[in-house]
Amino acid sequence: MSDIIRNIKGTKDILPDEAIIWQYVESKIHIFFKQYGYSEIRTPAFENTSLFKRSIGADTDIVSKEMYSWTDQGGNNITLKPEVTASVIRTYIQNSLGKINPINKFYYIDSLFRRERPQKGRYRQFHQFGVESIGSQYPEQDAEVIALAYNFYHYLGLKNIILKINSIGSKETRGIYKKKLHDYLLPYKKDLTEISQKRLDKNPLRILDTKVNFEIDIINNAPNIVDCLNDDDKIHFDNVLNFLNKMNIKYSIDNKLVRGLDYYSRTVFEIQCEQLGAQDALCGGGRYDNLIENLGGKSTPAIGFAAGIERLILALDIKKYIIENSPDVYIVSVGENAIQFSIKIANMLRVNKNFIVITDTLRRGLKSQMKEANKLNSKYAIIIGDNEIKNNKATIKNMSDGNQETVIFDNIESYFNTIK
Ligand code: AMP
């Protein structure tokens, strides 16, 4: 036998038993996010590479080493989407959505691509859901977006979640802070990793994202960005915290939280789940008041978050979420004539009654078809064999109590009217 072709490293098949859980999670996203007035938006799987370079930032891990980019046959530079915000903002600008509504609130469920080192909870193709609220500069908008993420995890019954929040201030604040951080880190330059050394001059804030232990030790004593916030930034942050308190949302302030993308300003936050181990980040987000202007639109404030679906599913108690998907009817047909009736009855019950109906297409014997009906946990079995055809009647068996009746073919639909 020739070698089989396997999936690409870092990708994952979602087989039917797991797909049920995905459907459950996705259906809850649609219900819950609409409660907050957010509408679904869908954007293409790939975009011009320049969109991500300009928005996420050239010094970030995503842009500098993780994007799946190529030049297509027409010479266009294209990238598989590594995150969603840039695409949503592109379509917002392109379609002048800000002129139609002063505030636009979107949610999405999407598939993303980053060439990271695969491990549990970290893939090269993964899925996120998230929101973008575009138009409001006010702290109540930050609080709404944070509450939406936090409450969603509670709504799904997730325990042990931790909300971390920080403010990285305005562009001016970050300019001042960058200088302070650079001056603090400079004496340690030779101790830093090669990539951090490169970032030191260009964008020292990125070093705060490090996962390397000895760098974390250095960073522990670094100056805090909160000490550079101007009065407006401080008032904004205090108001956000105040609103969270009003909603009884528990948070901890983490002054080292800056998030891995360049476009954030003021509020940034992350939600973690203790039981997830090393990859414990469920969700991250923040305000990005300068992004729309950077991408060529009219200056407009905005805030959003993105959350991983794979990690959410890992954190949920999966068995609880298996949804009853058993058939209403399994049609057991034995012999070629029976197949004719089986096809007709199955179609009638599916079209007229919206039943889940399974028929045997392997032409197996009566015993193995009954076994299958049992295995699938079917509510009823309709049995059609030579005898039934001779009498123009089917045998209908209630699989839970074992009772069976014979019903003439033409009355099968009305039979189910009385019992379901
Ligand atoms: P980010 O867009 O990097 O802020 O990530 C937001 C969330 O997406 C994270 O908190 C994770 O839950 C999830 N996530 C990010 N990258 C991956 C990945 N490579 N594999 C699985 N989930 C991911």
Spell out the domains of the chain, with CATH numbers in brackets. Answer: 16-170+230-320 (3.30.930.10), 329-418 (3.40.50.800)
pLDDT at 172: 86
**SS3 call for 339:** helix
Which helix (H) or strand (E) element contains residue 307?
A: strand 302-308
Contact between 237 and 267 under an 8 Å Cβ cutoff? The reply is yes
Is there an atom of ligand 1 within 6 Å of 52 CB? no
pLDDT digits (tens, 9 = 90+) for 210-261: 888 888 889 888 999 888 999 999 999 999 999 999 999 999 999 888 876 7
CA-nearest residue for atom 14, ligand 1, is 308
Q: Which atom of ligand 1 is nearest to the CA of 270?
A: 10
Ligand 1 close to Cβ of residue 302 (< 6 A):
no
311 lines ligand 1 (CB under 6 A): yes
CA distance 372 to 392: 25
pLDDT digits (tens, 9 = 90+) for 265-289: 999 999 999 888 878 899 999 999 9
Task: Report how far residue 331's alpha carbon sits from residue 342's, in angstroms, rounded to the nearest whole number.
Answer: 6
Pairwise CA distance, residues 360 & 167, whole Å: 61
Q: Give per-residue pLDDT as tens, 66-108.
A: 999 999 999 999 999 999 999 999 999 999 999 999 999 999 9
139 Cβ below 6 A of ligand 1? no
What count of other Cβ atoms lies within 10 Å of the Cβ of residue 95? 11
* C-alpha of residue 27 to centroid of ligand 1, in Å: 20
Q: What is the pLDDT of residue 159?
A: 86
The reported pLDDT for the residue numbered 361 is 96
Strand order in the sheet with 69-71: 46-48, 77-80, 69-71
User: What is the reported pLDDT for 413?
Assistant: 94
Contact present, 112 and 83 (Cβ < 8 Å): yes
Pocket flag, ligand 1, residue 308 (CB < 6 Å)? yes
- Regarding the beta carbon of 343 and ligand 1, being less than 6 Å apart is answered no
Pocket test for ligand 1, best of 116, 122, 261 (most atoms within 8 A of CB): 122
CA 347 to chain centre: 36
pLDDT of res. 17: 85
Q: What pLDDT, on a 0 to 100 scale, did the predictor assign at position 418?
A: 76
| Spatial separation of the C-alpha atoms in residues 408 and 95, rounded to whole Å | 60
Instruction: Give 170's Cβ-side CA count (13 Å radius).
Output: 11
Distance between Cα 315 and ligand 1 center (Å): 14
Q: Which two tokens stand for residue 119?
A: 């491990």
Please state, as a whole number, how many other Cβ atoms lie within 10 Å of the Cβ of residue 343: 14
Query: Which regions in the chain score pLDDT beneath 50?
Result: none
What pLDDT, on a 0 to 100 scale, did the predictor assign at position 251? Answer: 97
CB 170, CB 230: distance < 8 Å: yes
**263 pocket-lining for ligand 1 (C-beta < 6 Å):** no
Distance of CA 276 to the CA centre of its chain: 16
- CA of residue 261 relative to chain centroid, distance: 18
Q: Is the shortest distance between the CB of 328 and ligand 1 below 6 Å?
A: no
